[in-house]
């Protein structure tokens, strides 16, 4: 009852803000680059305007109904390090539909987007690495599941928009366009949010019920706000993907998750000869209960023989982030081709979060060769710090359980990816990842593998992406 009331009140605030912003911004002219269409979670490209193989018929497109299909298949193997060596194959078929309800039914500036995943194969991080920086953005438990399903209404010339339905946050919050070439999951939705938020937060493969408001105050300045159900899989033991196996739980009564972001861009109009860039500042607030990383419910360390075995629960959680991206070279007579750099940083309280500090950064080279304008190459590095409270628990295990118990510290990632476009709609991506201190240097303190030290891992992969 209380959570339902909170949801209704917060949704009313979002809608009220949206209506006010619509009055203020409705008359402005859209001059920004067109980056607000539904994003393909596999490639980051628009599901409405995309380069494809041309194999998927779209007989209803003239009525505003557009179908899209993308398949990703990849081989990944760790030649050394992690929990054990091995090679896996995994794949994901993504089927999407976009409906322009203005064309179809005369509903002004209203659209609908939905997509589903068919996921199959193994998972290298899950089975072999036990690490924080999940080796692949498509790694998930095998299943056929609904991902996103939402309506979007726009006012003015794309100056204000509101999404309602089952949504993901990773395509708009805490993101940068210069990570689209990378295959590691944390180069999309960072490890700090995927590990600290219940069920990983609203990101692949689990979107959440919610509402998102976007207001483009000027051509350069935008503000985003969103409210989500705070645990799209629902509470319980085991893997969240098993608790919401088909993506149709549609939960709305869990403690809510709020996200907000303000972003400022420069030189971002189409045809602007100067180098474009952007900064983003944002944060999240969760109203649920979070497990203390060291102490049990009876006040002693979880490692102590007298521990209740249940962590102490702390009320609520917060986190913040900053993003910077800048084009440092542009190929003459083009908009996106060139060289871009990015950096992201984030923090969260140490007492209730496994990761309390996160940072990544890198560089992406886009279409530098006129003969291969769609090829991309990227190099990036990431850092995830194990919170001091979690490290203190490891020290307790060392003192109370075993003198050689490993102490976790941080996990690092260095990765390089080349994206070779075979033809429109078909790419190949050989990639390499070097993972330093997987899992912070050890497995989690609880479970059948508790306390096992993990060595640095070398991961090699090859991904193919087909857009039909």
Minimum mean pLDDT among 2-6, 147-151, 169-173: which range? 2-6
- Our measurement of the distance from residue 182's CA atom to the centroid of its chain's CA atoms, rounded to an integer in Å, reads 12
Residue pair 127/143 in contact (Cβ under 8 Å)? The answer is no
Q: State the average pLDDT over residues 96-116.
A: 96
Q: How confident is the model at residue 21 (pLDDT cuts 50, 70, 90)?
A: very low
The Cα–Cα gap between 115 and 364 comes to 28
What share of residues in the chain are helix, strand, coil (percent, to 5)? 15, 45, 40
Strand pairing report for 256-266 and 277-296: antiparallel
For 186-201, what is the mean pLDDT? Answer: 97
Task: Specify whether the CB–CB gap between 415 and 184 falls below 8 A.
Answer: yes
Q: How confident is the model at residue 158 (pLDDT cuts 50, 70, 90)?
A: confident
Number of helices followed by number of strands (H, E) in the chain: 6, 16
Instruction: Provide the 10 A C-beta neighbour count for residue 293.
Output: 25
- What percent of the chain stands above pLDDT 90? 84
Write the CB contacts of 334 (distance below 8 Å, at least 6 apart in sequence): 367, 373
Neighbours of 255 (CB within 10 A): 19
CA distance 97 to 61: 11
Start-to-end C-alpha separation, the chain: 46
Average pLDDT, integer, range 98-124: 97
Average pLDDT, the chain: 91
CA 19 from chain centre, in angstroms, equals: 28
Question: Binning pLDDT at 50, 70 and 90, where does residue 275 land?
Answer: very high
Whole-angstrom distance, CA of residue 431 vs CA of residue 458:
11
pLDDT digits (tens, 9 = 90+) for 380-411: 999 999 999 999 999 999 999 999 999 999 99
Contact predicate 122/116, CB 8 Å: no
> What's the pLDDT at 38?
66
Considering the chain, what percentage of its residues have pLDDT values greater than 70?
90
What is the Cα–Cα distance from 228 to 258, expressed in whole angstroms? Answer: 6
Cα–Cα distance measured from residue 385 to residue 387, given in angstroms and rounded to the nearest whole number = 6
Global pTM value? 0.89
> What pLDDT is stored for residue 408 in this prediction?
97
The structural domains of the chain, with segments of one domain joined by +, span 2-467
pLDDT at 19 over 70: no
- Burial category of 335 from C-beta neighbours within 10 Å (exposed 0-12, middle 13-18, buried 19 and up): middle
Torsion 130-132-137-138 (CA) sign: positive
2-467: CATH topology is Porin (2.40.160)
Taking the C-alpha atoms of residue 80 and residue 78, their distance in angstroms, rounded to an integer, is 5
Sequence-distant (6+) residues with CB within 8 A of 237 are none
Split at pLDDT 50, 70, 90, the class of 13 is: very low
């Amino acid at each position: 009852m209380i959570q339902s009331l909170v949801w209704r009140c917060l949704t009313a605030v979002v809608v009220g803000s949206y209506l006010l912003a619509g009055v203020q911004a409705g008359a402005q002219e859209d001059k920004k680059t067109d980056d607000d269409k539904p994003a393909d979670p596999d490639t980051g490209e628009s599901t409405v305007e995309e380069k494809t193989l041309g194999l998927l018929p779209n007989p209803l497109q003239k009525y505003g109904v557009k179908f899209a299909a993308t398949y990703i298949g990849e081989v990944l193997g760790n030649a050394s390090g992690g929990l054990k060596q091995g090679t896996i194959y995994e794949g994901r078929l993504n089927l999407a539909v976009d409906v322009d309800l203005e064309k179809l039914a005369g509903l002004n500036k209203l659209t609908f987007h939905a997509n589903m995943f068919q996921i199959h194969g193994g998972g290298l991080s899950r089975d072999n690495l036990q690490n924080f920086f999940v080796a692949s953005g498509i790694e998930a438990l095998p299943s056929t599941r609904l991902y996103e399903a939402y309506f979007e209404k726009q006012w003015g010339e794309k100056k204000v928009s509101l999404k309602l339905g089952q949504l993901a946050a990773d395509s708009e919050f805490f993101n940068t366009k210069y990570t689209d070439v990378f295959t590691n999951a944390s180069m999309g939705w960072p490890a700090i949010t995927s590990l600290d938020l219940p069920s990983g937060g609203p990101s692949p493969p689990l979107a959440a019920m919610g509402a998102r408001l976007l207001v483009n105050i000027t051509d350069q300045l935008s503000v985003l706000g969103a409210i989500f159900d705070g645990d799209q899989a629902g509470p319980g033991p085991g893997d969240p993907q098993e608790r919401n196996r088909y993506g149709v739980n549609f939960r709305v009564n869990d403690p809510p998750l709020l996200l907000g972001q303000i972003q400022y861009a420069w030189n971002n109009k189409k045809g602007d000869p100067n180098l474009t860039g952007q900064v983003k500042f944002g944060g999240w607030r969760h109203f649920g209960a979070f497990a203390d990383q060291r102490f049990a419910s009876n006040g002693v360390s979880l490692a102590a023989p007298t521990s209740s075995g249940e962590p102490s629960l702390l009320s609520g959680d917060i986190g913040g982030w900053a993003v910077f991206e800048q084009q440092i070279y542009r190929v003459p007579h083009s908009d996106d081709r060139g060289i871009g750099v990015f950096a992201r940083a984030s923090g969260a309280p140490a007492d209730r979060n496994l990761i309390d500090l996160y940072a990544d950064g890198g560089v992406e080279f886009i279409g530098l060769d006129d003969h291969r304008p769609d090829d991309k190459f990227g190099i990036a590095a990431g850092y995830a710090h194990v919170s001091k409270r979690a490290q203190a628990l490891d020290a307790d295990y060392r003192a109370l359980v075993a003198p050689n118990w490993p102490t976790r510290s941080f996990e690092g990632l260095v990765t390089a990816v080349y994206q070779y476009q075979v033809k429109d709609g078909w790419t190949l991506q050989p990639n390499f990842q070097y993972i330093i201190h997987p899992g912070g240097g050890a497995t989690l303190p609880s479970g059948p593998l508790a306390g096992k030290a993990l060595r640095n891992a070398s991961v090699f992969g090859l991904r193919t992406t087909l857009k039909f």
